[in-house]
Amino acid sequence: MAKLLDKQRYKCALGAMQTVQAISRAIPILHSGPGCAQKLSDSIGSSGYFSPNIFPCTSINEKDVVFGGVKKLETTIENALKVIDADLYVVLTGCIPEIVGDDTGEVVSHFEDAKKPVLYASTAGFKGNNYRGHEQVIDAIIEQYLEKTDEKEEGLVNLWADVPYQDLFWLGNIRELENLLKEIGLKPNTIFGYQRGLENIKTIPKAQFNLLVSPWVSVGNMKKMERKLGIPYLHYPTLPIGAFETSKFLREVGKFAGVDDQKVSKVIDDHENYYYYLIERYADLFLETRVMAKQFSVVADAQYALAITKFLVNDLGLVPAKQFVTDDTPKQFREAIRKEFENLNYGLKAEVAFETDSYKIHQEIKEHDYHGYPLILGSYYEKELAEELFGHYLNISWPVQDKVVLDDFYVGYTGGIRLIEDIYSVAVQRWN
Amino acid sequence: MAFNLESSNVATRENRIGSITGYIGSLSDLANQSKCGTLKGCSRCFSQSSSCLSTCALNQLSAIRDVAIIHHGPAGCSVAGANAYYLDKVMARKRGVTTSTVYVGTDMNENDTIFGSAESLRKIILEVNRRYSPKAIFVSSSCATGIIGEDIDSIVDDVKTEIDVPIVAVHCEGFKSRIWATGFDISDHAVLSSIVKPPKQKRNTINFKNFYESARPEIIEMFKNFDLEPIFLYCNSTVEELSRLSESLATTCICGTLGNYLGNGLEEKYGVPYIRTINPLGIAGFEAWLREIGRVTGREAAVEKYIEEQRAVYLPQIEEIKKELKGLRAVLGMGPGYTFEVSRVLNELGIEVVWALAWHYDKKYENGDVPPSMQYLLENDVDFEASVADQQNYEVMNILNQYQPDLYLSRHPGSTVWAIKNGTPAVYVADEYMIFGYKHTLEFAQSVLDSIHNRSFEKNLARRVKLPYTDWWYQQNVDKFLEEAKTNGKVVG
């Protein structure tokens, strides 16, 4: 049912055009109105090999609404194959063709024998948000392109984590997760970012297992791959930030993959030694920043709300006030995510609200007593609120206007240090 | 044309003033065909994505202070609210004012497309009103609500009894028009029909329609010379200010595409003269514009004195810099409110326009005349190859590849990068005042010069990146996908 979406923090399913854009040399073809791509793109970091203003689009008009737009879709795909130099074309539908009943799948099937693969995902805006759209695109790849194989590659792991572009740190995070997996002797395979494209997609069926690092996004994709391709999966619900969670993550992944314990322990020791060398040098800053309370709130999608809560509690010893998950998490996942928020060191439990109405979020933050200057990590919408509360603020979730990130990341040991740098770069600007 | 402010619907630019998005030929042919009424736009059988009229309409309205925009549709439509929030905050801060404008969505889902969501929308409107007490409320439709026939007019009528500020339905179905500038008309229509009141007293104000008011302080200073006070619209406007637009001495606009609906509407409904000269970009434009303001407001002498003083300061400097610009060849791609204005300025500066793209083209303005910028170029024997393309980047790249100009000028986010990947220096003419008056014409000339003096950035990048278009495309005529093109414009290779 329609609801009041006040200060919205996600896009619609067609926002998954950014998921396609994140696959190197893959291009979305939009069967939609002329301006959907422009609306759903972010103006920062979009001018890659392909950018939203060159995504082919049927630019549906009034006539197409009445008579259907399948003919236009046919010529758009046909000519996109001629004009655009891509490896993979993914047709995405907007609201209009799905309401008026265009048979997009049928049109796309005419291109089964095209020189390049042409896939199709149903991503009408009213079908859900861009987190769901992201899953739709991966489902389309699994259903329409991948085939089961008996040819398995030892140690090969398909790695899935963030929703590209919606997550500010998607590129850096996935590269750092790859690095960590390589260090314990695994061969990570991902499909997003620099030099990751169709070849990586083709490699997916050969993996020993799928590793999903996310509270809920792509769980359905993992199940689909398990059924269709016979690939088992490990669902690790917390994006590991900082030493505590990253070491736990490596142990769990190592165990699932059958990696030698000692090898994993050695990797962990090396990282933790350096990590605590840094922490030791800066511990005085953390302890003696008088202008920061011990309490914090994160306003973000489930991925970041959970990851940062765990990091600030388990690594830095802060105490969680209420946390806010804003991605419209499907109901069936909420209980498990809530349990994760309650699984913190020293029996601490973080109260969590699944809330998409930012007015209510802001009311709750205003009413909470943080016992000092609060630390608020959230979207750009929290900037002014934090100022009103004399709090510290960091823009870590969409929409982002306060930070430019090229390939920075918060994941892993190094990522934890980066997050600390960012938080205290804000705190030290105020007289201590 | 007759303005019907009783209906919340505005006819599209295509239907109202015969605007087109597809044409390839020359400037003179385009103008002559417009004049004799034979110009017919072409459609494309292949296109790349462009813009949505709802973005133009609702960005304009959400820039007004302390109002509420309720965008009834899926979350992708109202996503513009995120950017509006940012813009409102930074623009208000820049001006030293505050705004509590909100732009919310309704997160419409599949059930809503089947059963409708009139009751939910009604509750949402009332809740937004309760939360924020806005000074005006704009309720917008989207493609999805439009197709399922959600009657937002009735819902708005229904809540009027419970809300004591102006509330109006805004029809923003993106499929209605390929011309996103139709959105500007939609926002003007909403303001004219719901906020502007009949005049109580005439004031020495001038309605100045612009985008982001960067030159506001200096224009206020300039108008003091003529005892005139500009009211800038809609960025940081208040509802109270807008309600009194009918009391001004005249309406002017930095961009004809942006302002013609409001300007003509105020003229027709309330007798506020609309300044219809070429725009105040470059020397000829600035002088023609200012003189017309002087004429309409009866301040000719003060205007002439000002022009004379400013000429003495700036013309020698502009003449000096022209020596360095002479012989440069440019391609430009902008909305029509800028393409033919900037072409004139480039010509003034001695830069040769080899190809001009307009993202759409209005054959005539609301008053039935050919746009003044076109008229001026024709009268001054300026001609060049021209096309109309709604930001069709592949056509731009084909043209840049063929002509290899010294620079590419464009005005829309995400467009300059493609030129530099081609190795062509690009000048982003984003700020609407970038070429305003003598001072900014000089600055513009300087930034063109700076852009071509150091080509390191584009050369470095172009050397390392591959362009996304196939060799096949670069071998095609730029009008390859234009249907009926060959009967309209000349075929170009």
Residue of B nearest to A128 (CA): B109
The helix (H) or strand (E) run that includes residue B209 is strand B205-209
Of B38 and B258, the one with more pLDDT: B258
Q: Which CATH class is domain B51-177?
A: alpha beta
Provide, as residue numbers in chain A, all residues whose Cβ is less than 8 Å from the Cβ of B107: 2-3, 5, 8, 328, 356
Provide, as residue numbers in chain A, all residues whose Cβ is less than 8 Å from the Cβ of B74: 12, 95, 124-126
Which among A325, A340, A44 has a CA at the least distance from the CA of A165?
Answer: A44
Distance (Å, whole) CA B416 – CA B191: 33
The helix (H) or strand (E) run that includes residue B357 is strand B352-358
Provide, as residue numbers in chain A, all residues whose Cβ is less than 8 Å from the Cβ of B89: 383-384
The pLDDT mean for chain A works out to 96
Please indicate if any CB of chain A lies within 8 Å of the CB of B301. no
Provide, as residue numbers in chain B, all residues whose Cβ is less than 8 Å from the Cβ of A97: none
> What's the pLDDT score for residue B16?
86
Q: Where are the domains of chain B?
A: 51-177, 205-301
> What's the pLDDT score for residue A276?
98
Asked if A34 lies within 8 A of B174 by C-beta distance, the reply is yes
Distance (Å, whole) CA B291 – CA B307: 9
Asked if B144 lies within 8 A of A59 by C-beta distance, the reply is no
Q: Of B52, B75, B147, which has the smallest distance from its Cβ to A35's Cβ?
A: B52
Residue B103 in 3-state DSSP?
strand
Distance (Å, whole) CA A20 – CA A30: 11
User: pLDDT of B445-470, one tens digit each?
Assistant: 999 999 999 999 999 999 999 999 99
Please indicate if any CB of chain B lies within 8 Å of the CB of A295. no
* B205-301 CATH, one of 3.40.50.720, 3.40.50.170, 3.90.950.20, 3.40.50.1980: 3.40.50.1980
Interface of A with B in 67-106 (CB under 8 A): 72, 75-76, 79-80, 82-86, 94-96, 99-100
What is the arithmetic mean of pLDDT over B424-441?
96
Scan for tokens 């970009």, then name that residue.
Answer: B281
Alpha-carbon distances, residue B431 vs B126, B169, B413 (angstroms): 37, 30, 11
Provide, as residue numbers in chain B, all residues whose Cβ is less than 8 Å from the Cβ of A15: 76, 79
Please indicate if any CB of chain B lies within 8 Å of the CB of A47. yes
Please indicate if any CB of chain A lies within 8 Å of the CB of B46. yes
Scan for tokens 């992708």, then name that residue.
Answer: B76
Q: Of B144, B178, B394, which has the smallest distance from its Cβ to A99's Cβ?
A: B144
- Paired tokens of A320: 């969680």
Which among A138, A112, A144 has a CA at the least distance from the CA of A123?
Answer: A138
Q: What is the pTM of this model?
A: 0.96
Interface of A with B in 161-220 (CB under 8 A): none
> What's the pLDDT score for residue B457?
92
Distance (Å, whole) CA B19 – CA B40: 9
Distance (Å, whole) CA B440 – CA B318: 10
What is the arithmetic mean of pLDDT over A355-367?
98
Distance (Å, whole) CA A24 – CA B465: 13
Please indicate if any CB of chain A lies within 8 Å of the CB of B93. no
Q: How far is B358 from chain A (nearest CA, A)?
A: 16
**Matching CATH topology for B51-177 and B205-301?**
yes
> What's the pLDDT score for residue A432?
63
A253: left (phi over 0), alpha (psi -120 to 50) or beta: alpha
Percentage of residues of chain B with pLDDT beyond 90: 85
Q: Model confidence at B1, in pLDDT bands (50, 70, 90)?
A: low
> What's the pLDDT score for residue B15?
87
Q: How many CB atoms lie within 10 A of CB B110?
A: 14
Where do the H-state alpha helices sit in B225-371? Answer: 239-243, 256-270, 282-297, 300-325, 336-348
- Paired tokens of A137: 């695109």
Residue of B nearest to A30 (CA): B49
Strands A233-236 and A209-213: parallel
Q: Model confidence at B279, in pLDDT bands (50, 70, 90)?
A: very high
Q: Model confidence at B17, in pLDDT bands (50, 70, 90)?
A: confident
What is the arithmetic mean of pLDDT over A415-425?
97
CB B410 within 8 A of CB B416: yes
Distance (Å, whole) CA A95 – CA A15: 12
Q: Model confidence at A347, in pLDDT bands (50, 70, 90)?
A: very high
> What's the pLDDT score for residue B493?
33
Q: Does ipTM top 0.85?
A: yes
Greatest Cα pair distance in chain A: 70
Q: Of B49, B128, B466, which has the smallest distance from its Cβ to A30's Cβ?
A: B49
Asked if A125 lies within 8 A of B77 by C-beta distance, the reply is yes
The pLDDT mean for chain B works out to 93
What is the arithmetic mean of pLDDT over A328-355?
98
Q: Is the pLDDT of residue A419 over 60?
A: yes
> What's the pLDDT score for residue B492?
38
Please indicate if any CB of chain B lies within 8 Å of the CB of A301. no
Q: How many CB pairs under 8 A join A and B?
A: 242
CB B159 within 8 A of CB B110: no
Provide, as residue numbers in chain B, all residues whose Cβ is less than 8 Å from the Cβ of A126: 74, 108-110, 112-113, 144
Distance (Å, whole) CA A55 – CA A62: 21
- Paired tokens of A258: 């059958």
Distance (Å, whole) CA B340 – CA B345: 9
Collect all residues with Cβ–Cβ distance below 8 Å to A312 and sequence separation of at least 6: A296, A318, A320, A375
CB B438 within 8 A of CB B315: yes
In this structure, what DSSP letter does residue A12 have?
Answer: B
CB B254 within 8 A of CB B215: no
Where do the H-state alpha helices sit in A43-126? Answer: 62-67, 70-83, 95-100, 104-109
Buried residues in A174-212 as b, exposed as e (16+ CB within 10 A): bbbbbebbebbebbbbbbbbeebbbebbebbbbbbbbbb
User: pLDDT of A270-295, one tens digit each?
Assistant: 999 999 999 999 999 998 888 888 99
Collect all residues with Cβ–Cβ distance below 8 Å to A149 and sequence separation of at least 6: A205, A206, A229
Provide, as residue numbers in chain A, all residues whose Cβ is less than 8 Å from the Cβ of B142: 95
Collect all residues with Cβ–Cβ distance below 8 Å to B299 and sequence separation of at least 6: B226, B227, B228, B293
Q: Of B86, B414, B466, which has the smallest distance from its Cβ to A401's Cβ?
A: B86
Q: How far is CA A241 from the centre of its chain?
A: 14
CB B132 within 8 A of CB B141: no
